[in-house]
Structure 1
């Protein structure tokens, strides 16, 4: 039976080791996979997040192109140099990438012009041209006027826009209404080669119809319409780069589209994305060192690792609890097995003696007085043993379940101890018991429970002592308002590894004195008694020297 239990224990331990090994391997594998996943995710983000950087960085340009630039059309061609200057100031202040603006105060006529474009009877030419910018000198603002045509020639920007206007008017279907997108496309020119945007204020539909008539014939009187054209010179290097992922991108630069770095070290990771519109000859160039990227990988990896660690910890805790419960159940099974076995033996011995005595009485034809007394004494003693064992089990159960009440009676401690000594020395003549009392004479307690406590500790002292050392000293002292009882013997002692278990039910120390006749309830019963009396019991012991039980009880005088 012992071999089976030991094998079962080893089996449980082996299963636990296998389970812990498996989850440890899975934990390490999960960490490895999680790190690789984090690395791949960050590398993918390094490529994909550049779109967000581009969108954030190019927002001012989109706002300028879609919202600010079309404001020119609100003036319906009646901008002059003063109002154009104010408009330009707001643009340059809000959009630093606009370095220079050229303003063409333009007229559409029904008579030919010298500087400009003539298409049929439709003529387009500037009245005056101004340039504005941070670094434009005051004497260089005005570039052209109708009165002074020698100093400046109308450039390609004006001619290209005039050509678009003429083409649009020539193809115009006066029966349909052109869309805003169509108008915006035909009255703006985006040039990525020199980073320019040319914009002509969009004429009203009625004006466009007149332009078509002016192209076909001369009107009387000859009308003149005002148009405003602005050329915006842009500087890509003045775009403010917004790094939305500073932990991912170490440096972001604006470079020409043809830029190819000389340093192609494996220590760096790079990616790029082209700028839109007038900046399409430029790109955002992203660079990060691998060591820099590792920081972001670990930031991404750490929460995953912590979750995995938490799961691993929970599994370890579950494994520990399962193993502990199996171990406890194994020990409980052993204790219960030993309890039933020992209890059966405890009952079997007196029952067998009673049966033998009964059979002897029954088979005898006659009994002498001496034989009657002998058999009577045997039957009485064995019945007392059975009764004592049953009473102990019953009392233990009642105390454990709080099924009895604590009786309060005054006890004379000297008389009580002497009575205990007398009872045990009468039973065991070789038992040497001494005592001392300090600080009190009487106190209030339950004498029956206190007697059970004293008897159990005295019996243990006698039972677990060698024949030459069957000694017990009982000390009763009043210390700081509490009663302290010490039971000090010269017995075989208790190993330190066993001290935490001796007050547990069914626990028996494995030694020569416990081979027969111990159920494992004595000290557990004592602890329950002390707890029921609102006290505390502790033990100190040294193998081969002896044991001391210390009991602290409340002092009720």
Structure 2
């Protein structure tokens, strides 16, 4: 049976170890997959996150295009050089990518021909004055053109292109419908490379008049003021917002045709074209592999920790299963030994009683001496059985808190003396000594304390060689506690077994236990001390002896 048990538990251990090895392989494989996933994810992020960087970087441009440009229309064509200068100053301050602004202070007339401007049927669109504003524009170069001095400045493509766009829009204008703001905005602005030209949007009534003016001469001939501003943009002045500094090491603005000379595998690169007037340029992203590896690692570590945690939980469960199997094995062995030893403990006195009974029954007559002998044998063996059953019953009652702790005052010297005397009667070769210091009486449960003394005394006698069957009991009052010490000169307890001796059914394997032991004595002592709100500890040296120390509360 023992071989079968060991074989079964060896098999369980092998299964647990196989499971842990398989989980370890799976753990390593999971880490590898997690790292590859992290690498792929970060590389994809490197490509996709450039859109967010672009959006953040061109946010000021979008704000300029959607909010600042339409402010020109608020002036209804009546911007003068001073007002335009103030407006441009706010633009240059708010939007550094605007390098220069050319302001066309223009008129729309119903005359057939103008020298500087554009003629559309009988509608003419021409500048009165042209100014340029910018941080690098000299003071004497602000005024570029004035109608009074013709020929000193070429009006240029910016002006003509937007006027042609306006003319085309007017020719196709459906006067029965109200045009949308988006339609008006797109037809009164012109986006070219590094440049945005914007014309203030007239009222719908004015546009209807413009259409009439292009077809015939009105009487009287109306004159309308129109303001056109051409914003020259510098893409290199766009402030790059690196929203992923741990992903992108360097971000630059380069021409669309830019092709780096260094194309080695030690770098990751990507690019995205700038929108609108900056479409000839791109954002160019570059990071070294070693720089990207840091971001991969920072993404991988939480995943690895999660996998490690899961693996740790699985291994812990496996260890707990094995531990439970091991505990069950030990419990089974302890119970098996307990039943064997208990059977032996009961069988011995029962056998003696049966033999004595048979002898009495079969004898034709018994002398007085034989009657006394058999009577003594029956009495002693009955006491053994009764003591064993009482110990088991008391142990169970104490464990389940089924009894109450009595509080009686005892004289400690008398108590120890009675214990010594009872054991001297049983074991005449047992040498007892004792001492009491600091107190004479204290309140305790005398029955439980007596059981404690008896068990420790019996242990001291049982586990001592014939020539060293000695026990010294000391009782002292120390710092308001009763400290009892039981010191013998027995065989001692191995250090490896010290932590197990107070466990139920545990027995140290030695020559003194060959005749059987239930393994309840010291466990019973531990339960007694705990029930009395005390503490028990042990110090021992092999072949030198053992000392049990008991600390109990002192109540006078």
User: Hey, what's the Cα distance between the residues in 2 that align with 1:158 and 1:412?
Assistant: 122
User: Hey, what's the Cα distance between the residues in 2 that align with 1:8 and 1:351?
Assistant: 36
In the TM superposition, residue 299 of structure 1 has moved relative to its aligned partner by 1.9
User: Hey, what's the Cα distance between the residues in 2 that align with 1:220 and 1:444?
Assistant: 130
In the TM superposition, residue 113 of structure 1 has moved relative to its aligned partner by 0.4
In the TM superposition, residue 366 of structure 1 has moved relative to its aligned partner by 3.3
* Counterpart position of 2:228: 229
In the TM superposition, residue 267 of structure 1 has moved relative to its aligned partner by 2.0
Q: Deviations over 1:276-306 (max 9, x none)?
A: 0000001111111111112222222222222
* Counterpart position of 1:537: 536
What are the within-5 Å matches in structure 2 for residues 330-349 of structure 1? 330-349=329-348
User: Hey, what's the Cα distance between the residues in 1 that align with 2:144 and 2:103?
Assistant: 10
* Counterpart position of 1:95: 95
Output the TM-score relative to the length of structure 1.
0.95
User: Hey, what's the Cα distance between the residues in 1 that align with 2:121 and 2:403?
Assistant: 125
After superposition, the CA RMSD in angstroms is: 1.9
* Counterpart position of 1:38: 38
In the TM superposition, residue 482 of structure 1 has moved relative to its aligned partner by 2.8
What are the within-5 Å matches in structure 2 for residues 364-513 of structure 1? 364-513=363-512
User: Hey, what's the Cα distance between the residues in 2 that align with 1:520 and 1:187?
Assistant: 104
In the TM superposition, residue 230 of structure 1 has moved relative to its aligned partner by 1.2
The change in CA–CA distance for 1:512 and 1:224 in structure 2 (over 3 A counts) is same
* Counterpart position of 2:546: 547
Q: Which moved more, 1:404-413 or 1:340-349?
A: 404-413
2:32 is the alignment partner of 1:16: no
In the TM superposition, residue 73 of structure 1 has moved relative to its aligned partner by 1.9
User: Hey, what's the Cα distance between the residues in 2 that align with 1:481 and 1:278?
Assistant: 93
What are the within-5 Å matches in structure 2 for residues 46-61 of structure 1? 46-61=46-61
Q: Which moved more, 1:276-285 or 1:123-132?
A: 123-132
2:35 is the alignment partner of 1:7: no
- Aligned-partner SS, 1:144: strand
- Aligned-partner SS, 2:456: helix
In the TM superposition, residue 497 of structure 1 has moved relative to its aligned partner by 0.7
User: Structure 2 regions of 5+ residues with no counterpart?
Assistant: none
- Aligned-partner SS, 1:399: helix
The change in CA–CA distance for 1:497 and 1:118 in structure 2 (over 3 A counts) is same
* Counterpart position of 2:360: 361
In the TM superposition, residue 367 of structure 1 has moved relative to its aligned partner by 3.1
In the TM superposition, residue 99 of structure 1 has moved relative to its aligned partner by 0.9
* Counterpart position of 2:208: 209
* Counterpart position of 1:127: 128
In the TM superposition, residue 253 of structure 1 has moved relative to its aligned partner by 0.9
- Aligned-partner SS, 2:58: helix
User: Hey, what's the Cα distance between the residues in 2 that align with 1:447 and 1:222?
Assistant: 131
- Aligned positions, number: 555
In the TM superposition, residue 325 of structure 1 has moved relative to its aligned partner by 2.2
* Counterpart position of 2:161: 160
* Counterpart position of 2:318: 319
The change in CA–CA distance for 1:179 and 1:411 in structure 2 (over 3 A counts) is closer
Q: Deviations over 1:39-98 (max 9, x none)?
A: 111111111111011111111111111221122222222222222222211211111111
In the TM superposition, residue 273 of structure 1 has moved relative to its aligned partner by 0.4
Q: Which moved more, 1:311-320 or 1:447-456?
A: 311-320
2:285 is the alignment partner of 1:286: yes
- Aligned-partner SS, 1:259: coil
The change in CA–CA distance for 1:208 and 1:448 in structure 2 (over 3 A counts) is closer
In the TM superposition, residue 14 of structure 1 has moved relative to its aligned partner by 2.3
User: Hey, what's the Cα distance between the residues in 2 that align with 1:178 and 1:483?
Assistant: 105
In the TM superposition, residue 203 of structure 1 has moved relative to its aligned partner by 2.5
Q: Deviations over 1:362-419 (max 9, x none)?
A: 3333333333223222222211111111111112222222322333334333333333
User: Hey, what's the Cα distance between the residues in 2 that align with 1:470 and 1:22?
Assistant: 57
In the TM superposition, residue 543 of structure 1 has moved relative to its aligned partner by 1.4
User: Hey, what's the Cα distance between the residues in 2 that align with 1:182 and 1:460?
Assistant: 107
* Counterpart position of 1:171: 172
User: Hey, what's the Cα distance between the residues in 2 that align with 1:49 and 1:540?
Assistant: 70
Q: Which moved more, 1:253-262 or 1:412-421?
A: 412-421
In the TM superposition, residue 33 of structure 1 has moved relative to its aligned partner by 1.9
In the TM superposition, residue 204 of structure 1 has moved relative to its aligned partner by 2.3
* Counterpart position of 2:307: 308
Q: Which moved more, 1:80-89 or 1:254-263?
A: 80-89
The change in CA–CA distance for 1:261 and 1:357 in structure 2 (over 3 A counts) is same
- Aligned-partner SS, 2:549: strand
What are the within-5 Å matches in structure 2 for residues 242-253 of structure 1? 242-253=241-252
* Counterpart position of 2:143: 142
The change in CA–CA distance for 1:165 and 1:498 in structure 2 (over 3 A counts) is same
- Aligned-partner SS, 1:517: coil
- Aligned-partner SS, 1:499: helix
Q: Deviations over 1:211-254 (max 9, x none)?
A: 22222222222222222111111110111111111111111111
In the TM superposition, residue 534 of structure 1 has moved relative to its aligned partner by 2.5
Output the TM-score relative to the length of structure 2.
0.95
User: Structure 1 regions of 5+ residues with no counterpart?
Assistant: none
The change in CA–CA distance for 1:517 and 1:201 in structure 2 (over 3 A counts) is same
Q: Which moved more, 1:116-125 or 1:52-61?
A: 116-125
- Aligned-partner SS, 2:499: coil
User: Hey, what's the Cα distance between the residues in 2 that align with 1:40 and 1:456?
Assistant: 72
